[in-house]
Amino acid sequence: MLDVLRVYWVQLIKQPKNTIRQAMEETSTKLLFVLISLFGITLCLEQAMNRDAGDTTSIPVILLLSMVIGPILGAVAWFLGSLCTFGVARLFGGVATFRETSEASAWATVAYTTKMALFIPMLLIFRQENFTSNTPDIDSSMFLALLFFLCLTANFVMTIYYIIVHSKIIGEIHEIGSWKGFASIILVPLVLILLLFLLALSQ
């Protein structure tokens, strides 16, 4: 299993369309669990950073909760995302099954989980201030402030690239092209955000 991950991780990030079918042929239930768990842990850590969880929770607790809740959150996000993507891709004339869509979506998360390579040094350098609204150490140092800004920029770029990789993978397995693959993964979340926005305005 680890050998399969090592072989396809970088290849999927560099050449997703040329690699995804080979990776799917070697997908096992254990491997899916690992991919989804890592995705969920990364998602939890990012949400903790975005929501300033450190204002009320210590780093050890945040890390522990990410390890425990992360795999569950990852599984829910992966399943619902795969379901929505499958439905929209089918409307665009996609040919892949739900199982193929879900496996491909799981492999696409490697581009997102790669953020862990950024989060780990951020935890070592910025510590609690990664998760807090008040950042006195960062604010008092031009070097730390610049470094933190560069890390946030890199994180944003990696999110965009994850969407690109996911779009190419879905477009490839459904044989509908990358742009329709992009629409397949973004359309339902976009509609939901729009509906929530309209509901907020109406109140």
**pLDDT attached to residue 165:** 95
CA dist., res. 95 & res. 80, Å (int): 19
* Cβ atoms 54, 48 nearer than 8 A: yes
Among candidates 104, 84, 75, 78, which has minimal Cα distance to 188?
Answer: 84
* Cβ atoms 172, 15 nearer than 8 A: no
Model pTM score: 0.90
CA dist., res. 24 & res. 89, Å (int): 18
**pLDDT attached to residue 1:** 67
Per-residue pLDDT of the chain (203 residues; tens, 9 = 90+): 667 777 888 888 889 998 999 999 988 899 999 999 999 999 999 999 999 898 888 889 999 999 999 999 999 999 999 999 999 999 999 999 999 999 999 999 999 999 999 999 999 999 999 999 889 999 999 999 999 999 999 999 999 999 999 999 999 999 999 999 999 999 988 888 888 777 777 76
CA dist., res. 45 & res. 53, Å (int): 10
